[in-house]
Structure 1
Amino acid sequence: MKSSRLALGFILLSAITLSSCLKKDYAGPPDKSGYDPMLPVNATIQKVLNLLPANYPSTSVSPVRIDSDWTISAVVVGDDKSGNLYKQIVIDDGSTGLAVLIDAYDLFNDYPVGRKIYIKLKGLYIGTYHSLPQLGYTPDNTGAISGIPGTLAENYLVKANYPNTVTPIKVTFAEIAGGANVALENRLIQIDSVEFVAGDVFQPYAAPAPSSGTSLDLEDCSSTVVLRTSGYSNFQSALTPSGRGSITAIYTVYNSTAQLVLRDTSDVKFTGPRCDGAVFIDPSKVVFNEDFQTVNTNNEILSTPGWTNYAETGGVLFKGGLLGSATKFAKISAFSTGSATVKSWLITPAINLDGATNPMLSFKSDDGYDNGATLKVYISSNYSGSGDPSTSTWTELTGFTISSGHTSGYGSQFISSGFKSLNGYNGSIYVAFVYEGSDPAKTTTFELDDVMVSKD
């Protein structure tokens, strides 16, 4: 159901700070040497950042050349192995982080996550890209910092011991969702109890290249923050999970907008239940699905392609329901029909279960002004596909949760029926929703949506 009853978070479309490009083949495992040259360290990343104007997060700045003989040491917390970072690594010295631009591919071979490095800073530049600090080489003709040439990288970057433990900083959602947090820029963070907004569930992490990147929204049940992913990442086509849990990512900004950048999908651990308890089905496991999006007008006689809308007694047919422009569903009521006995059928098209392992039926429902009418579910394997269903054999399916008890109005939202196993059925089957009521005694309105058969 394209529900308008739940406000989905907005999706930001800003350009990515950390875009990516195609990677060369992995050249081999990183050196696991325990050797540390123990270069004298006389600066910190924060000392380097202090060269920028105090108001750099809110204004564009010109790159600043570092002329002092400073050396910093730090550990790599983000590399380019997945392709989501392009020609750069992200380092952290324990107090803050920094993106380092290097004009070379496959940096993870020399500078993998967990590698300690020293950087000789004299002659390099510190600047920003849309407010995000970056360390690099001579500015180009646009004023943007360029990457340290690959052939010169060893003149500035000195490899030390590997591996070192990299532990993300645990932060609350409130610390990142209210706009840019300068203290966390270019740092590896972990946030618990988050999920993708409903509209971004089971979506590719990014549009394919040459798209520079795609923004998806994460939420903590109320506020949202952007996850930005390159179209060149090797997990671009992977689908986002539906659950809730923790995510580890590099915190970046684009102007005043906070953006998280994944190192890899192994940093996404969304296995718990969602905030609202909603259950999503992997699209690849859907055998049949109907969300009634062909409804155009509220209260029109329902004519969904392939479905049978049949009034057995009382002349009452299912109608289309429309709330706003997106919430569309089937509905029925005996109210004001003048029919002492109403029995109406809404029957699916044929659903082929051949090859479907553990098929499960589910749907969503809501009720209004409940005074005793019923909505039941039946299944048949010998229905003709059209016309009078009474000439076929139907078996009632029980155990569903069907909305009820709203005597003075409607429920606040559609509720899930739960899942009913259809094991034992194969070939073509039909599912029928049968309404029984009367006017004026039993006139409950039932609304029906998201009828689905899924499989393992």
Structure 2
Amino acid sequence: MNKKNIQTVCASMLSLICIGLILFTGACKRDPEAPLLTQPIYDGPNANTTIAALKEKYASINDPKVIDEDLVIKALVTGNDISGNIYKQLYIQDETAAINLGVDQNSMYTTFRAGQEVYISLKGLSMVKYGGELQIGFSGTNANRIAWEIFKQHTKVSGWPNAANLTPLEVDLSKLDASMVNKLVIIKNVRFNNGGVNAFAGGTATVSEVVKDANGKTLDVRNSNFSTFAKEILPKGNGTLVGILGRYNGGWQLFLRDKTDVIDFDGTDAGTTPTDPGAGEVIFNETFGDGTYGSGNRPKLAAFTDFDMKAPVTYTDASGSIDIRTVTGVNASLWFPANKDISLDIAGIQSANKTDLSLSFQLMSNVNKDPDNANLNMVKVIVNGHTYSLPSTPVSAPNDLNKYYTFTIPNLPAAATSIVEFKVSASDNAFGFRLDNIKIVSATGGNGSDNTIIVTK
């Protein structure tokens, strides 16, 4: 074969190879046809119990109890881990009650979305009590959570998820009861104590931020530092919250599912009355709860959890003697026991870029019978390292029995984070003192150079 014929043959072969490569490459790049999506249909056993009946059946357990009956419940998913604020928990409810399941898995929301109907075969799972409340889990595992593969065997979806099927229960903070535990709720006309100041979870841990309604009732809103909205600033003003209402050792909590559960906050400042000497933007307000933590219960400050203002604010009692008590059975306050050296430090108050700050608080001596007499100026106040001597305020029994005096200190020294200290020595503390309603405001219009401490009855 001559040279020319060889070149012709080679060119033809090269062309065939190129065509083949093109066809092969095109075939490799071709997308396979996606399978048709079909609505999931549940074909297992029918539901034969309710969440309320399940909780009643296992109400008396303390340790995990394996469910040994062929029980099946049907419910709707109300809360999942879509934002990261709920961790390894799935919340469900039916027409009777609600409960949560501990599941050892992340990103469950991709399958178990809000409004998804589920059937759960309970035999072989466990009823678990955590923080005084029942949940569905699996005994003997980490945190009694159900392994993902086991959970999928027991839990089947039915139909498409439809969040429109979920109607939150509107609740009043003064009327919460056991039937509401783990339900999806809506709470209207509340405001965050740290609104416009703190982030939802600005640190490295899950924190509680307090909301208060128009009647002064409070609720902890639990926020995880792993949530998608953790670093966003709490909304200011009045608004509406939706979420899962939980309870832990008797304390009520709200878990936001994602940021869309925070609705229509109006950005207004806290309301004040013209007679309030601390009128202005409230940046700190501590009432020490409403006294509903139990009759006769007097928790020490270190064990108390019902603070209005929480992390990053801290409360330190160097003496270990301060506790929370009620005077009337309703209003709670700090009790400084008689004949004790008392030192209370409140630190971490967020005051950056705030001006014309003033501090107000209520103080009472425990004079209770004639001729008891004392002077409220025995209590020393230190703010950001500056010591204030209170005006002479003599009190005696019976005229000043259970009577508070309000002190207002204007023009506090500026600081990015403020520290307020209250101190009294044992020698000046014959009857004990009560401290309540500590507030710091950024006063409207300023206080000029006036440093006069105001005392009102």
TM-score, structure 2 normalization? 0.53
**C-alpha deviation, 1:297, in angstroms:** 2.9
The verdict on how the C-alpha distance between 1:415 and 1:85 changes in structure 2, with shifts beyond 3 A counting, is closer
Partner of 1:182: 178
1:233 corresponds in structure 2 to 227
Per the alignment, residue 203 of structure 1 pairs with 198
SS in 2 for 1:139: coil
Shift of 1:190: 0.6
1:247-396 to structure 2, matched below 5 A, reads 247-272=241-266, 273=268, 276=271, 289-291=355-357, 295-297=386-388, 328-330=409-411
Deviations 1:360-406 (A, max 9, x none): xxxxxxxxxxxxxxxxxxxxxxxxxxxxxxxxxxxxxxxxxxxxxxx
Q: Does 1:37 align with 2:38?
A: no
Does residue 61 (structure 1) correspond to residue 55 (structure 2)? The answer is no
Q: CA RMSD in A?
A: 3.9
Taking the aligned partners of 2:208 and 2:149, their CA distance within structure 1 comes to: 34
Query: SS of the residue aligned with 1:138?
Result: coil
Q: What is the identity, as a one-letter code, of the residue corresponding to 1:112?
A: R
Match of 1:191 in 2: 187
Q: Residue 172 of structure 2 aligns to which amino acid in structure 1?
A: T
Shift of residue 226, structure 1, vs aligned partner: 1.3
Aligned equivalents of 1:267 and 1:128: distance in 2?
A: 27
Output the CA distance in 2 between the equivalents of 1:32 and 1:78: 25
For the residues of structure 1 that align with 2:199 and 2:443, how far apart are their CA atoms?
25
* Contact 2:118-2:157 within 8 A present in 1 as well: yes
Deviation at residue 270 of structure 1 after TM alignment? 4.8
- Once the two structures are TM-superposed, the CA of residue 130 in structure 1 deviates from its matched residue by 0.8
Q: 1:246 aligns with which of 219, 240, 246?
A: 240
Residue 288 of structure 1, CA deviation: 6.8
**Conserved 8 A contact 2:189-2:239:** yes
Q: What is the CA distance between 1:240 and its match in structure 2?
A: 1.0
> Structure 1's 243 and 158: CA in aligned 2 closer, same or farther, altered over 3 A?
same
Structure 1 position 215, deviation (Å): 1.6
Which structure's CA Rg is the greater one? 2
Give the share of equivalent positions with the same residue, in percent. 24
Higher relative contact order (CA 8 A, sep 6+): 1
Relative distance call for 1:287 and 1:216 in structure 2 (3 A) is closer
Q: Quick one: structure 1 residues 329 and 74, their matched pair in 2 at CA, closer, same or farther if it must change by over 3 Å?
A: same
Q: Which residue of 2 aligns with 1:116?
A: 117
Return the alpha-carbon distance in structure 2 between the equivalents of residues 413 and 234 of structure 1: 31
The within-5 A match list for 1:13-28 is none
In structure 2, the CA distance between the partners of 1:416 and 1:287, relative to structure 1 (3 Å rule), is closer
2:11 is aligned to none
Corresponding position of 1:364: none
In the TM superposition, what whole-angstrom CA distance separates every residue of 1:98-132 from its partner, at most 9, and x where no partner exists? 10111111101111112111111111111211112
8 Å Cα contact 2:64/2:126 also seen in 1: yes
How far is 1:152 from its partner? 2.2
- Partner AA of 1:42 in structure 2: N
Contact 1:78 1:89 in 2 (8 A): yes
Q: Secondary structure at the match of 2:87?
A: coil
* Equivalent residues in 2 for 1:126-145, closer than 5 Å: 126-140=127-141
TM-score (ref. length: structure 1): 0.53
CA distance in 2, matches of 1:299, 1:154: 66
After TM superposition, list the pairs within 5 Å mapping 1:76-91 onto structure 2: 76-91=77-92
Deviation at 1:234, TM superposition (A): 2.2
Q: CA deviation at 1:289?
A: 3.3
Which residue of the partner structure matches residue 373 of structure 2? none
In structure 1, the residue corresponding to 2:139 is in which secondary structure? strand
Aligned residue type for 1:71:
V
Contact preservation (8 Å) 1:195, 1:274: no
Distance in 1 between residues matched to 2:441 and 2:105, nearest whole Å: 53
Cα 1:433–1:226, aligned 2, differ >3 Å: closer, same or farther?
Answer: closer
Compute the displacement of 1:259 (Å). 1.1
Task: Report if the CA contact (8 A) 1:90-1:186 is conserved.
Answer: yes
Give the whole-Å Cα distance in 2 for the aligned partners of 1:170 and 1:256. 20
CA contact (8 A) 2:410 2:447 kept: no
Partner-residue secondary structure (3-state), 1:35:
coil
Question: Structure 1's 279 and 153: CA in aligned 2 closer, same or farther, altered over 3 A?
Answer: farther
**Could you tell me how far 1:432 is from its partner in structure 2?**
11
Structure 1 position 139, deviation (Å): 2.9
The yes-or-no answer on 1:52 pairing with 2:58 is yes
Which segment drifts farther, 260-269 or 75-84?
260-269
1:271 is paired with a residue whose SS is coil
Counterpart Cα distance in 1 of 2:83 and 2:37: 20
Letter matched to residue 52 of structure 1: Y
Give the 3-state SS of the residue equivalent to 2:179 in structure 1. Answer: helix
Over 3 Å counting, the alpha-carbon distance change for 1:229 and 1:132 in structure 2 is: farther
Report the Cα distance in structure 2 between the residues aligned to 1:138 and 1:298, rounded to whole angstroms: 59
1:261-289 CA-to-partner distances (Å, cap 9, x unmatched) read 111222122523455168759999x8773
Q: Name the counterpart of 1:8.
A: none
Aligned partner of 1:369 in structure 2 is none
Call closer, same or farther: CA 1:299–1:92 in 2, change over 3 Å.
Answer: closer
Amino acid at match of 1:94: E
Q: Does residue 1:216 correspond to 2:229, yes or no? A: no
Write the distance in 2 (CA, Å) between the matches of 1:254 and 1:299: 41
Structure 2 runs not aligned, ≥5 long = 1-35, 273-278, 284-348, 359-382, 392-404, 415-438
In the TM superposition, residue 37 of structure 1 has moved relative to its aligned partner by 1.7
Distance between the aligned counterparts of 1:126 and 1:231, measured in 2?
Answer: 29
Classify the secondary structure of the residue corresponding to 1:151: helix
The CA distance in 2 between the partners of 1:61 and 1:122, in whole Å, is 19
**Residue type matched to 1:171 in 2?**
V
Residue 241 of structure 1, CA deviation:
1.2
Per the alignment, in what secondary structure is the counterpart of residue 86 of structure 1? coil
Preserved CA contact (<8 Å) 1:69 1:121: yes
TM superposition shift of 1:201: 4.8
